[in-house]
Every structure is written in C-alpha cells, then in structure tokens.
Amino acid sequence: MSDQAGTPPGDRPSDAVRTHPDAAAPAPAHTPDTHATAPALTRFIRGVLDRLRAFDRRRPRVWDASVTGFWMVAAVLDYTSGGWRTTAHDDVTAPEHLVLLMSLGFSLPLLWRRTHPLAVVVLMAPISAVNVWTGAVVQASLLQLIPVFHLVLRSSLRTVGAASLLFVVPVLSSGARIPSGWGQEVVSYIWGLVFVVLLGIAVRTRREYTEALVERAQRLEYERDQQTKLAAAAERTRIAREMHDIIGHNLSVITGLADGGAYAARKSPERAGQALEAIGTTSRQALSELRRLLGVLRDDHPDADRTPQPTLDELTALIDRVRGAGLPVHLELNGRPTPRPLTPGRQLTVYRVVQEALTNTLKHATRPASATVTLTYSRTHLDARITDTGTGSGGSANAGEAPAAGQGIMGMRERAALYDGHLEAGPLPAAAGWQVRLRLPLEESHA
C-alpha cells in the first residue's frame, strides 16, 4: 500500500510517484499469488487503488488539479450554503466575502501540497490566524492537515515541528481570545494534528520498510545475476582448459608419431606401421575424451559428468604414449604415497600438469630431448617436477616466450590454485632445458 492509502479524505489515491517532483517511490505491485489468496473485497479495493496509482503516475498534475478542485468546490459550497456559520462564534466580525477568500485560501494552495508542502503550510498560516481571530472558524481550515501530512512523509522532524507550530499557534490564539472555544476548536484541532502526524509516521515507516525490501530484492537479484555470470565464465574457462589439455597433448603426440613414421617409412616400413597404429590409438583416445567433455554440456546426457577423469594410476600410460611419440621420459617416485589416496581433483591436477609439461616439450624442443618426471611425497604435500633437455639456445627456454605465452602454463597455474597449490615454470640454469614445478597440498593440509 502506498503512502496515500492513509491520507485525509479526498487525497487518498495519490502516490507521489517518481515522475512527480519531490515524489516518493511507488510501492511494489501485489503479486498475482497475493491477489489470488486475498478476499474478494480486498482484491477489489487493491485493484481500484492500483488503477488510481497508475493514473497518478501517468498524470500527476491532473490528479493534483482534481483533488484541489474537489476541495475548492466543497469550500465554496460550505460558504454559499452558510454551513460555516454552524461553527462560527456568536461575535463573528468577518464579512462574507472574507469568508469566501479564506475558504479559497485554504483549498487552492493544495495544488502544490506534494511539491512544496512547507510553502503551502506557511501560506495558510496567516489565513488561519485571520480565520480564528475573526471568529469565523471555517471548516476548510482543517485542510492545513493535508500539507502537514505530506511534510511528515518526506521531511525531517524539525521541519514537521515548525509546520505544527504554524498550525497550532493561530488556534491557541483563538483560545486565548475566546475562552469558550477551547473545547470546541483548540482540543479538536490539536487532536487532529496528532492523528495526522502519527498517521504520516506510520505510512512513512511502512513505505521505507517496503523500499528497503525492494532494494534488497533488487540487490540480491543483481548479485544472483553476477554470480551466474561468474559461474558461466568459470565454466567456460574450465572447458577451455580441458579442451586445451586434451587436444593440445594428443595432437602433439600425433604430430610426433607422424614425423617419426614419415622418417621410418623410408627405412623401416614395419616401424612406420607401428607409428600409424599409435596415431590411430591416440586419435581414438582423444575423440573419447572429447566426447566425454562435450557430453557434460548436453542435456540428454545427465550422467556424462560422472565419467572417470584421469588419475595418477594412468600416469604411466600417459608417459608411454609420449615415449611412443619419440620423447624419452623417465619417471621417478620419491617418498611414500599418503595412506589416504589423493582426491580425484588433485590427481587430475597433477596428471594435467605433467601432461601439459610433456606436451610443451614435444612442441618446443629444438634438439634431441629427454624428460624426467619426479613425484615426491611428503607428509603434507606432493611435489611434481618435470624437466627436459630439449630447449637449446634458440628454443623457447632462452626466449621465454613459447610455452609461457600460450594458455598451457596459465591453465596449469589455474589448476594448482584451485587446491591452494603453487606452480613455477621457467628455464633451467645455463639454458640446460626447461622445468615445471608443482607443489600441491594434500587433502589433510590446511595450507
């Protein structure tokens, strides 16, 4: 419900929307579920109020003019019918034309009650003083409560207090001049002021609470959208990393086998046939891994992500394939593996780092090369060190560009960071080759 739901009669549907100067934010519309569960009368009233608020949002000036015109007509009718005489004192000294001017003075400024409520109260104060001093006490003077209500909705307590004094002082002066008017006017006017102020505070509190809920909902929606975007970006990065590792490694192995097969075809057709068989095996394995990875993205394969990922048990098979591509690789194991096996994610990280390091050696070696893979277990960490002797003075080790400039080393570092690991890559001393070092905490570690 908007702030106007509790306004004095005749000003109830106004909602002081954002399109109107000095207007407040409209209350959020009721959801269809709320409408569906509410009683029929409540739904009807809400529908009417919603339509009035919508009209006010579209035509705020028209609504202001309508409300002002209504009260002007009521004030003039009170004057022409002589109704004001029922509340006037016996010794009234105000001529009738002054009564008409005072009635218009209390009603016409309501046109600016929402944009300049304090100015309206200040303008009405001297008219109120004349009203009570002459003893006319026209009923239109109660219209001063409408701009006071709007002040409570959007102004500070100090401003509301000043406006209340401008309303009360003329009434108190009337009580001082005409003691018999205390019970009839002073008390009723003060009670009316207290009611309007309390009503404004209640409506303002409800509006601020509603706005806070709306703002919180919008913030949560924005954060949810941001989290969705971040999750999508992280997933794209993960898929790109997996694609790079799978395709890059297997293509490098196939390239090495093809080069070796072409060389062997001229001297040993039997060795060339073995190379072709190895190319076929590697290609089929690459296609199988790609199908598994792409199956994760397909809705009709809900179990595709459960396909086992490579583990350290398959490290020997990886090294055999690299050897088959023409790169001698030596595997060393130091220390004793932890009694509890590494988590699948950590095993995949070590596997992919070794795979990428050996792939880089195949791609960037500039002379006959060999590689060494060393896994060292400690109580809290697993250290993997992959070195090669394949980069000479003209290779990527000296230049420092080829391996580091691509996605491979970046992907290895991202994988290590997922488990609070650390990865270093760079040339060996005296340009003797290239090394990749991975230090990965075990599952029990809090590093």
The ranges assigned to domains in the chain are 3-223, 325-447
Contact 364, 427 (CB under 8 A): no
Q: CB-based contacts of 113: which residues, under 8 Å, 6+ apart?
A: 11, 64, 120, 146, 147, 150
Cα dihedral angle (220, 225, 230, 231), rounded to 10 degrees?
100
Third-level CATH fold of 325-447: Heat Shock Protein 90 (3.30.565)
Q: Which structure tokens are listed for 242? A: 């997996």
Contact 163, 148 (CB under 8 A): yes
- Supply the pLDDT for residue 155: 83
Q: What pLDDT, on a 0 to 100 scale, did the predictor assign at position 384?
A: 92
- d(C-alpha 250, C-alpha 257), whole Å: 10
Q: Return the pLDDT at 372.
A: 92
Q: Which residues contact 315 (CB under 8 A, 6 or more apart)?
A: 331, 350, 351, 354, 373
Task: Name the nearest CA neighbour of 435 among 369, 349, 344.
Answer: 369
Of 152, 148, 188, 185, the C-alpha closest to 167 is 148
The residues, ordered by sequence, that sit 6+ positions from 351 with a Cβ below 8 Å of its Cβ are 310, 311, 312, 314, 315, 318
CA distance 185 to 395: 101
User: What is the per-residue pLDDT for 370?
Assistant: 86
Give the pLDDT score at 279: 73
Residues 6+ apart with CB under 8 A from 219: none
Name the CA radius of gyration of the chain, rounded.
42
The pair phi, psi for residue 423, each rounded to 5°, is -130, 135
pLDDT at residue 374, as a whole number? 92
Q: For each of the chain's 447 residues, which pLDDT tens digit applies?
A: 334 434 444 444 344 334 444 444 444 444 444 555 668 888 888 888 888 878 878 888 888 888 888 888 888 887 777 766 666 665 566 677 788 888 888 888 888 888 888 888 888 888 888 877 777 777 788 888 889 888 898 888 888 888 888 888 877 776 666 665 555 667 777 888 889 899 989 989 998 898 899 899 889 888 888 888 888 887 777 777 777 776 766 677 777 767 666 666 667 666 667 667 677 777 777 776 666 666 656 555 544 444 567 888 888 888 888 887 778 889 998 887 766 678 888 888 898 889 888 888 877 766 668 899 999 988 888 999 999 887 543 334 333 444 444 567 787 888 888 888 999 988 887 767 888 999 998 875 444
Distances (CA, A) of 149 to 5, 59, 72, 109: 12, 22, 19, 14
